[in-house]
Amino acid sequence: MLENIRISFQSIWGHKLRSSLTMLGVIIGIAAVIAIFAIIQGRSEDLKSNLIGMGNNTINVVFEEEDMYGEEGMWGGEMSNRSAPPIKQEAIEEILTYPNVNGMSIYYEGWQEAYHLINVTHPRLLGIDERYFDLFPTTMVEGREFTESDFASYNQVALINEVAMSELFPEGDALHQTIDIGGIPFKVVGIFSDAIEDSDWYYPESTIYLPTTIWPLLNGFDAPMQVAVQASSSETIQEVGTMAADRLNMDLPPYETAIYQVADFERMMEEISQYDQAFAFILGGIASISLLVGGIGVMNIMLVSVTERTREIGIKKALGAKRYVILAQFLTESVVLTSIGGIIGILSGLGIAKAISVFANMPYFVSVPAIIGSFIFSMFIGIIFGILPSIKASKLQPVEALRYE
């Protein structure tokens, strides 16, 4: 067997141009599969980690009418701005003690213009508590974060991001300046950058943070609160979210028709993997066509190789080589040929995927099962398309094979 593999390499090496051209079909087929798979898988993994847990195992508990995430699925519901009873501090404390809960933050979210002199911005306005940055870390560029006294003393202070700063303070120098939101002045105490959310699914938008405690000054006391809970791992997100929602629901008055609830990530996962499967099917189709073409090329060259080596086969048979010896020799050569093609295809496929991900700024994902699968499949092509020429070789009559010039 080893001897056969060695002979195969010799023979493939002996016809470098021909062998590489023959391999090309397999190489292109496998490379295409690997590259497309890496890109699609990359996007899908990225989508999953961004949708599910916002990239840091965090889930939002939303106060909505029942069944928002009902039959029509997660995409069917619509965020409403209905009011909600304030969340009690003790509920938060209690949820934080639950197993697998890493952190929790309560915040307000809204869209409201902010002004400085004649400059205006339309920021995403967030009223955040002191735990918000534990869940969504941010990088301060200038100034400071909120302090305990900002929350306790209802200080009219704001953190703005670089986008908001460039819109409000085109000439720079925003720190300690005053901005106007809904007719109320806020002092800019810090400027942060959006680095943390700089993934494909976000583009930097104007964002302003205020302390939660000052929020009612803008929107009253019954503004709906957002609840974010961070789980210790992506596996426990769903469970942690459900537990937090259940705890919050306990405090709701009996007449309330809305409840706290979380998106059904398992269903979302399922939907995403259904898309993946559809892609896999289409891919499989394309791949099989190109690999079929490559395989036929291999078969063609193997038939030529058998004809060329008729005399060699005759000699070997005259010296006592049995049929399976000849069969194994040619089959090995064909499998070695397509396997080399497969390996080159896998490497170039990964290279192409890497290049695409660098140039087009797309994520890519190296799937080990896909690589192993492609390699086994390339060997399989060698067997399928090598079997006919090998049988032909093994069936040659020694007399005729020896006479062949």
Partner 1 sequence: MTMIRLKNLSKSYNLGKEEIPILKRISLDVEEGEFLAIMGPSGSGKSTLMNILGCLDLPSSGDYELESMNMLTGHANKLAEIRNQFIGFVFQSFHLLPRLTALQNVELPLIYSGLKKKERKERAMDALKKVGLEDRASFRPPQLSGGQRQRVAIARAIVNKPKFILADEPTGALDTKTGEQILSLFKKLNGEGVTIIMITHDEEVAKKADRIIYIRDGELFKERSEDVHA
Query: Which three-class secondary structure string do you get for the chain?
Result: CHHHHHHHHHHHHHCHHHHHHHHHHHHHHHHHHHHHHHHHHHHHHHHHHHHCHHHCCEEEEEEEECCCCCCCCCCCCCCCCCCCCCCCHHHHHHHHCCCCEEEEEEEEEEECCEEECCEEECCEEEEECCCHHHHCCCEEEEECCCCHHHHHCCCCEEEEEHHHHHHHCCCCCCCCCEEEECCEEEEEEEEEECHHHCCCCCCCCCEEEEEHHHHHHHHCCCCCCEEEEEECCHHHHHHHHHHHHHHHHHCCCCCCCEEEECCCHHHHHHHHHHHHHHHHHHHHHHHHHHHHHHHHHHHHHHHHHHHHCHHHHHHHHHCCCCHHHHHHHHHHHHHHHHHHHHHHHHHHHHHHHHHHHHHCCCCCCCCHHHHHHHHHHHHHHHHHHHHHHHHHHHCCCHHHHHHCC
> Interface with partner 1 includes 14 (CB under 8 A)?
yes
- The least CB distance from residue 294 to partner 1, in Å, is 27
Binding residue for partner 1, selected from 325, 358, 372, 383, defined by CB under 8 A: 325
- The least CB distance from residue 302 to partner 1, in Å, is 18
> Interface with partner 1 includes 317 (CB under 8 A)?
yes
Binding residue for partner 1, selected from 137, 322, 358, 372, defined by CB under 8 A: 322
- The least CB distance from residue 314 to partner 1, in Å, is 8
In the complex with partner 1, the residue whose CB is nearer, 195 or 318, is 318
> Interface with partner 1 includes 18 (CB under 8 A)?
no
Binding residue for partner 1, selected from 5, 321, 379, 388, defined by CB under 8 A: 321
Residues of span 256-315 touching partner 1 by CB under 8 A = 311-312, 314-315
In the complex with partner 1, the residue whose CB is nearer, 296 or 325, is 325
Binding residue for partner 1, selected from 143, 182, 216, 398, defined by CB under 8 A: 398
In the complex with partner 1, the residue whose CB is nearer, 14 or 170, is 14
How far apart CA 356 and CA 38 sit, in angstroms, is 10
How far apart CA 247 and CA 328 sit, in angstroms, is 69
Report whether 404 contacts 314 (CB < 8 A). Answer: yes
- The least CB distance from residue 385 to partner 1, in Å, is 24
- The least CB distance from residue 339 to partner 1, in Å, is 22
Binding residue for partner 1, selected from 323, 350, 373, 404, defined by CB under 8 A: 323
> Interface with partner 1 includes 316 (CB under 8 A)?
yes
- The least CB distance from residue 19 to partner 1, in Å, is 15
Sign of CA dihedral 314, 317, 322, 326: negative
Token digits of residue 140? 């301060």
- The least CB distance from residue 311 to partner 1, in Å, is 7
- The least CB distance from residue 1 to partner 1, in Å, is 12
In the complex with partner 1, the residue whose CB is nearer, 115 or 404, is 404
In the complex with partner 1, the residue whose CB is nearer, 184 or 325, is 325
How far apart CA 386 and CA 306 sit, in angstroms, is 11
Binding residue for partner 1, selected from 1, 118, 319, 360, defined by CB under 8 A: 319
Beta bridge pairs of residue 220:
none
> Interface with partner 1 includes 392 (CB under 8 A)?
no
Count, residues near partner 1 per rule CB under 8 A: 20
Stretch of 51-59, 62-70, 286-294, 391-399 lying at the interface with partner 1 (CB under 8 A):
391-399
Site string for partner 1, 94-133 (x = CB under 8 A): ----------------------------------------
In the complex with partner 1, the residue whose CB is nearer, 358 or 399, is 399
In the complex with partner 1, the residue whose CB is nearer, 90 or 405, is 405
Sorted by sequence, the CB contacts under 8 Å of residue 172 that are 6+ apart come out as 165
- The least CB distance from residue 14 to partner 1, in Å, is 7
Q: Which residues bind partner 1 (CB under 8 A)?
A: 3, 10, 14, 311-312, 314-323, 325, 397-399, 402
